[in-house]
Structure 1
Amino acid sequence: MIKLALSLVASAALITGIASTTYALDIEAIPDNYYVPGRFDGKTILVTGGARGIGKASAIRAAKEGANIVIADVLKNEGEETIQEIRKLGKRAVFVHADVSKTTDCDRMVDIAVKNFGQIDGVLNAAGVMDGIPPDAKIDIEKQKKQLFAPIHEATDEYWNRTMAVNATGMFCSLRSELRQMVKQNNGGAIVNIGSIAGLTGLGGNPAYVASKHAVSGLTKNAAMDYAPYGIRVNSVNMAATKTAMTQAAFKKVSELQKDRAKDPELAKIPNTSFIKSQGLLQFSDSKHREATPAEQASVILFLLSPEASNITGATWATDGGWTTF
């Protein structure tokens, strides 16, 4: 009975969110420098959106594991800096300045990859945006409102069109160029697309992002069906909060918008359902409520690109710390 009573007390404490951190056991993130030697020896991996964040972490680790790397990104300076980091490791890498929403740029990034390394063995499609604001722009909410995420009745064409152009059309254009080459090679391969929890559930206040990431989930499944006979596996990873420049910028934008909302007495009365849930299971349970790291996401991405995932295709992996569990 004593053990049962203690168990019930502990359960009640957890339910009310007041569990003592004395009993918490934090899960350590995989080290940023962890890698599997030789896993991609002789392979070439193309990474869109590889200039920073998850794409960069994946590109650097894949290079350490033996891959030749091609990074395609609209962020020229950061992209070239990442290439230099890889070359300093004694690995081969090239940068392509590209906007994935443009067919010509997608065709060119594939052509450059083939010209430099002969073929494409794996792809990480990581290019994406949260809204219509350029990824390297300094945040100025007042000047950027037309490009900023907003509920549907307040959303603009500028916000919707650019978000969809990069995340949905850009994913289609990237896949089309990549798959044409991989089919031509007739040597199989693997593709991983970066989605989001917003591609598996709703995410309040950002309809274009949600719609575009659901498109990523659909394209992933469709490509998996069409290209399995060619030995090409296609999967997606769908993360919650991960510590990257894009998510940090998004948090800042949300904070500024909340301050703006609070100035209007009528808006302030309306419950903001966007914040019903703000953390996944692991983030909530962590004593510091840490976000996922790019290295944690890269670990799953490279597993899915590797021969170790030989029986996985068409999957939308929730790399979200338990966000979509409840």
Structure 2
Amino acid sequence: MSLLRLKNKVIVISGGTKGVGRAFAEVAGREGAKIVIGGRDEKSGKEALRNIRIFGSEGIFVHCDLLKVEDCRNLFESAYEKYGKIDGFFNYAGVTPVSPLDTCDEETFEWVMDVNFKAAFFCCQEAIKYMRKNGNGSIVLTGSAHAWGGQKNRAAYACSKGVLLTLMEHIAHNYANEQIRCNYLTLGWTPTEGEISLRESLGETEQHLRNRAAHILPMGRMCEPGDYTEALIYLMSDDSKMMTGGNFRMTAGEYI
């Protein structure tokens, strides 16, 4: 039986319609949280909300294009108008195109940095503004092992995740005195919709991807979206109220 570890908390999730974002949205709802899902896929968002309601909680979907700062602001304004507070923010939205340093074009670089960093920066700005009103809050930024150098064909992505690590440390250092926490959840190699789509565009099937990854990763398999939900519940709950500035690694033993 659930302990309702997130009872009555209001949690905003950017990119909450896919992958780890959606998995956490549904589990957090099961744990008693009110969920605000930000994204572009309304159908998927509303499916997640139906699953949340089955377990007796509630939430809303806010259509937003995270390339637009005004949409980032509207996501948090809508959450506050609906529920009167914001307790947590999980920044999941991100893109991972092929982007080697020696061939990455300006358009790809700007797209990656705008989605992965600029949107996160302004979402965190809004999160802090509303968390101040209730005197505390937890922000979790989605990290990657690529932040420590990265693979050759992910240069722009690696840089975006590296700067998110700096943003996490900045928030943790400068807002702890307001009881606003920020931690970095380093995800491993995960067969999300985006990862599978990218690999298929390069001629690799999902099964081949999984088989190849199983031989590379020390723990013998890829991480699944559901593998991260317990860590996220902990980071959003009062159990972690003294944890900030942390790098929470869940990578199946992968260290790039």
Say whether the fold is shared (TM-score over 0.5).
yes
Q: Which residue number in structure 2 is paired with residue 28 of structure 1?
A: none
Tell me, yes or no, if the aligned pair for 1:127 and 1:167 is still in contact at 8 Å.
yes
Tell me, yes or no, if the aligned pair for 1:191 and 1:233 is still in contact at 8 Å.
yes
1:66-81 superposed matches below 5 A: 66-81=32-47
Q: Deviations over 1:256-299 (max 9, x none)?
A: 6xxxxxxxxxxxxxxxxxx9x9733212xxxxxx2111111111
2:145 corresponds, among 174, 179, 197, to 197
Stretches of structure 2 that go unaligned for 5 or more consecutive residues are 205-211
Q: Deviation at 1:99?
A: 1.8
The reply on whether 1:119 has 2:71 as its aligned counterpart is no
Aligned residues: 248
Letter in 2 for 1:304: L
Q: Deviations over 1:134-165 (max 9, x none)?
A: xxxxxxxxxxxxxxx23222211221111111
Q: Deviation at 1:235?
A: 0.3
1:276-287 superposed matches below 5 A: 279-283=216-220
Counterpart-to-counterpart distance in 1, 2:107 and 2:215: 27
Tell me, yes or no, if the aligned pair for 1:52 and 1:82 is still in contact at 8 Å.
no
- Aligned partner of residue 323 in structure 1, secondary structure: coil
Q: Which structure would you say has the larger Rg? A: 1
Letter in 1 for 2:128: L
Counterpart-to-counterpart distance in 2, 1:299 and 1:250: 27
- Aligned partner of residue 79 in structure 2, secondary structure: helix
Percentage identity across aligned positions?
Answer: 29
When residues 225 and 82 of structure 1 are mapped into structure 2, their CA distance, relative to the original with a 3 A threshold, is same
The reply on whether 1:83 has 2:49 as its aligned counterpart is yes
- Aligned partner of residue 242 in structure 2, secondary structure: coil
Letter in 1 for 2:246: A
Q: Which residue number in structure 2 is paired with residue 173 of structure 1?
A: 122
Counterpart-to-counterpart distance in 2, 1:36 and 1:220: 30
- RMSD, aligned CA: 1.9
Tell me, yes or no, if the aligned pair for 1:242 and 1:293 is still in contact at 8 Å.
yes
- Aligned partner of residue 244 in structure 2, secondary structure: coil
Q: Which residue number in structure 2 is paired with residue 313 of structure 1?
A: 244
Q: Which residue number in structure 1 is paired with residue 20 of structure 2?
A: 54
Counterpart-to-counterpart distance in 2, 1:154 and 1:187: 46
Tell me, yes or no, if the aligned pair for 1:123 and 1:191 is still in contact at 8 Å.
yes
- In terms of mean alpha carbon deviation, does 71-80 or 46-55 score higher? 71-80
Tell me, yes or no, if the aligned pair for 1:197 and 1:240 is still in contact at 8 Å.
yes
- Aligned partner of residue 79 in structure 1, secondary structure: helix
1:293 corresponds, among 224, 233, 244, to 224
Q: Deviations over 1:285-315 (max 9, x none)?
A: xxxxx21111111111111111121221111
TM-score, length basis structure 1: 0.72
Q: Deviations over 1:13-64 (max 9, x none)?
A: xxxxxxxxxxxxxxxxxxxxxx842111111111111001100111111100
- Aligned partner of residue 159 in structure 2, secondary structure: helix
Tell me, yes or no, if the aligned pair for 2:30 and 2:56 is still in contact at 8 Å.
no
Q: Deviations over 1:190-244 (max 9, x none)?
A: 1111111112331221111111111111111111111100101100111121121
Q: Which residue number in structure 2 is paired with residue 14 of structure 1?
A: none
Q: Which residue number in structure 2 is paired with residue 101 of structure 1?
A: 67
After the TM superposition, list the runs of 4 or more consecutive aligned residues in structure 1 that deviate by more than 4 angstroms.
none
TM-score, length basis structure 2: 0.90
Higher strand proportion: 2
1:236-315 superposed matches below 5 A: 236-255=184-203, 279-283=216-220, 290-315=221-246
Q: Which residue number in structure 1 is paired with residue 105 of structure 2?
A: 156
- Aligned partner of residue 187 in structure 2, secondary structure: coil
